[in-house]
Amino acid sequence: MITVESLTKRYGGLTAVDHVSFTAQPGRVTGFLGPNGAGKSTAMRVMVGLTEATAGQATILGRRYTDLPNPGREVGVLLDASAQHAGRTGREILTIAAKTMGLPTSRVDEMLARVSLTDTEATRRVRNYSLGMRQRLGIATALLGDPEVLILDEPANGLDPAGIRWMRDLLRDFADAGGTVLLSSHLLHEIEAIADDIVVIGQGRIVAEGTIAELLASASTRVCAADVTALATALAAAGHEVTLTPDGAVQTDATPAAVGELALAARIALTELRASDGARLEEMFLELTADTQRESRLTDLEGAA
C-alpha cells in the first residue's frame, strides 16, 4: 500500500505539489494522471526518497521509503529508464542490483527472461539500447527484489504496441497477485485498459480521484455544435456549468436531453451529443485538467495579447 498524506513540495516561490493526499491499494493498479508540470514526477520522487517533502508525508507499506531496511525488496521503482549507467551491460546492471539487495545471481537470468531481453541484448552496453530495451531493463530492475509495490513513471515510453500489451499484462498479473501498482502515463487509452483507480492532479493539486468506473460515469455531457460560443452562452444562461475543451467541444453538467432542448430553442445545429456513459478517459482527463493544460494557457495568453 502507498499512503500519501497532505504532501507538499515547494521550490522557492513555486509550489509543485500542494497538499496531495491519496492511497494506492494492494491488488489494484492506480493510474496517476496529470498534464506536464502538474506535479506527478515530483510527488513520485518524494515517495521514493529522491526529493524531500516540504510538508506532509508519503509512506509505503506503513513506512517512509528511506526507513525501509532493504527498499528494493519491498518497492520496485522506475522513474527514468534513461538514467541507467550507459557504459555497463544490462546483465551487469542487474547483477550489481542483485548483490546490493542480497539476492542470488540466478535472479538476474529470471528477470532477463521475464522482460524478454535475450542473452545477446543482455551483454550489450546500455548506451546501445533502444528506449524500449531500456524500459524493459528498468522494469526488470524494479521486479528484481520481488517487491510488494511498484512505482512506475511512464514505463511504456519507447515500447512498440506488442511491448505495451506485454507491460499491461505484466502489471495486471502483479496486481492480481496482491501487489500495489502506482502508474503514471501519458497513454490514456492504456491507463483506461489497465487501471482500477485513478488519481488526477493539476497544478499540484488533486482534481479528481476514484475508481475508473466512477469517474467515467460522473463525466458530464459532451456536445459539439456549429456555433460553440452560442451554445455555451445558452447553457450558461440556463444555469448549467460549461467548460470549453481544447478540442473545441463543450462539456456541461446538463443532461443530453436538456442540451438538445436548449439547442433547438436557440436554433443551434448540433454535430455531436454524447451521454456520460459514453465518456472515455481522454475526454474526462481533458475536462478535469482544462485549466491546467499548456495549450489552453497559451490560447488564453494569445487572446489577451
CB 73, CB 145: distance < 8 Å = yes
Q: What tens-digit pLDDT sequence spans the chain (305 residues)?
A: 999 999 999 999 899 999 999 999 999 999 999 888 889 999 999 999 999 999 999 999 999 999 999 999 999 999 988 888 999 999 999 999 999 999 999 999 999 999 999 999 999 999 999 999 999 999 999 999 999 999 999 988 888 889 999 999 999 999 999 999 999 987 787 888 899 999 999 889 998 899 877 776 666 788 999 999 999 999 999 998 888 877 788 888 888 888 999 999 999 999 998 765 545 677 677 766 766 655 444 333 334 33
* Rg over CA atoms, the chain: 22
- Other beta carbons less than 10 A from residue 121's beta carbon: 18
Q: Is the alpha carbon torsion for 206, 33, 44, 293 positive or negative? A: negative
- Give residue 211's identity as a one-letter amino acid code: T
Instruction: Provide the pLDDT for residue 296.
Output: 43
C-alpha cell at 64: 517512509
Instruction: Provide the pLDDT for residue 16.
Output: 94
Instruction: Provide the pLDDT for residue 276.
Output: 54
Residue linked to cell 470549453: 244
Instruction: Provide the pLDDT for residue 280.
Output: 66
> For residues 32 and 280, what is the distance between their CA atoms, to the nearest angstrom?
16
Global pTM value: 0.78
Give the length of the chain. 305
Instruction: Provide the pLDDT for residue 241.
Output: 84
Residue linked to cell 501487489: 179
> For residues 212 and 224, what is the distance between their CA atoms, to the nearest angstrom?
24
Superfamily of domain 2-209 in CATH is P-loop containing nucleotide triphosphate hydrolases (3.40.50.300)
Instruction: Provide the pLDDT for residue 76.
Output: 97
Contacts of 287 (CB under 8 A, 6+ apart): 219, 220, 243, 245, 251
> For residues 135 and 211, what is the distance between their CA atoms, to the nearest angstrom?
27
Residue spans of the domains in the chain: they are: 2-209, 216-304
